[in-house]
A and B are shown apart, each in its own frame.
Chain A
């Protein structure tokens, strides 16, 4: 049975029907592994509002801080950590700011950074990336980077 043509036809037909079955669903009704594959298809504005940490140098310059300094290796998780802290505010936001400041203080590559700002920014993605035009930023928390003797 397993090696027969009938089995091969049934197995092939069933698997292909399953893989093509998302065509009967709404495109937004994604699944796994039977997906509608909607990535890159949705219209999106170029404006983005999100929260993120910034390093501030002694002369007022800005440094973007990697996900590892936020407490994870993943960009999306880093974003979730910051957004959650901003949404909860108060002690949790302060604690995140100070945790980032401690990690920055321990990295020689960030020696010039004297303070951390947690901000919510709204930027036009094309203007920001192609023309270096920074949008509006609202400061949510700020804390100093304190370095002991190394």
Chain B
């Protein structure tokens, strides 16, 4: 078998439709809660002075901020499209629209002088799901025909690859900007110190482990070495199985460390959504459906006229 044939066999290895559907639902619900939860902030941003407008990504196509009503309407439409995305309604046409709307709404939020790195992977995952047959199970108007020729496994691998790529890029950025010297920990310690000082002076909570660790700089060397290993080795997640789960656990632990040292929260990673594609994501849903079916069957049996055990 040629290398390309082996690669194709690996990329298109089968996976259940329910796993991809579970990812659609979990990631879609997170995006929906995120957009609805930040709706007030999105409205406030729409009214910021035009002088603060620094468009990024797709928002660069407009030279000036949108009217507040239009910006708010697009955010509201994004929330509605996300509801349809989650339930899998007319997925082939709704999903690309939903991905485009989310891309616009979050790019617009990031277009006011500060790029938040907490939302990139969410948008990329929703775009990836929009390209895939993610509503062939657990959806309204479920497709009844057989599975598509490409199957479902490739789309799950694509989501894993997107997750891994963002971590590899973060690792490469450290090497490009600071070189291997980044590992000595001083640069990270300074970042943590400055970030926490700013919080302290403005009466905000500082991270619980910041103060003890700042007095022990050697600990940062170990933290930096682990961070670079996790980031540069992220494509190991594509190997699947225990290797992927171990990497995901390590990356999740890294984000917990960032909370403890900097009080900076990456909720998409901390809640496990970023790493869900390496797991058997359909299991909780399948278990719930199984329980519900069993309860219905028991209720049917106990009704008068129902089957006698």
Contact = CB atoms under 8 A, between A and B. Distances in A.
Interface of A: 2-5, 7-9, 11-12, 15-16, 19-20, 22-23, 27, 30-46, 48, 50, 52, 64-67, 69-70, 75-76, 78-79, 121, 123, 125-126, 128-131
B214 A126 contact: yes
Nearest to B12: A5
B124 interface: yes
- Choose among B110, B111, B161, B214 the residue with the greatest number of A CB atoms under 10 Å from its CB: B214
Nearest to A79: B202
B8 A43 contact: no
Nearest to B262: A40
Contact of B201 (A23, A37, A50): A50
A41 B182 contact: yes
A7 B150 contact: yes
Contacts of B92: 2
Q: Is the interface of B mostly helix, strand, loop or mixed?
A: helix
A44 B187 contact: yes
Interface string B70-114: 000000000000000000000010000000000100110011001
A39 B178 contact: no
A23 B92 CA distance: 32
B28 interface: no
How many interface residues does chain B have, given as a range?
35 or more
A64 B201 contact: yes
24 contacts: A3-B150, A8-B11, A8-B132, A8-B154, A15-B128, A15-B162, A19-B124, A30-B115, A32-B56, A33-B57, A33-B119, A37-B120, A37-B166, A41-B170, A42-B177, A43-B177, A46-B193, A75-B199, A75-B202, A75-B204, A79-B198, A125-B190, A125-B197, A126-B214
Interface in B274-299: none
Contacts of A37: 117, 120, 166, 169-170, 173
B169 A36 contact: yes
Most buried by A among B187, B196, B197: B197
B155, B193, B200 — which one has the most chain A CB atoms within 10 A of its CB? B193
Interface in B7-48: 8, 11-12
Contact of B202 (A30, A64, A125): A64
Contacts of B11: 8-9, 12
B225 interface: no
Contacts of A20: 165, 169
B149 interface: yes
A144 B176 CA distance: 51
Contacts of B103: 33
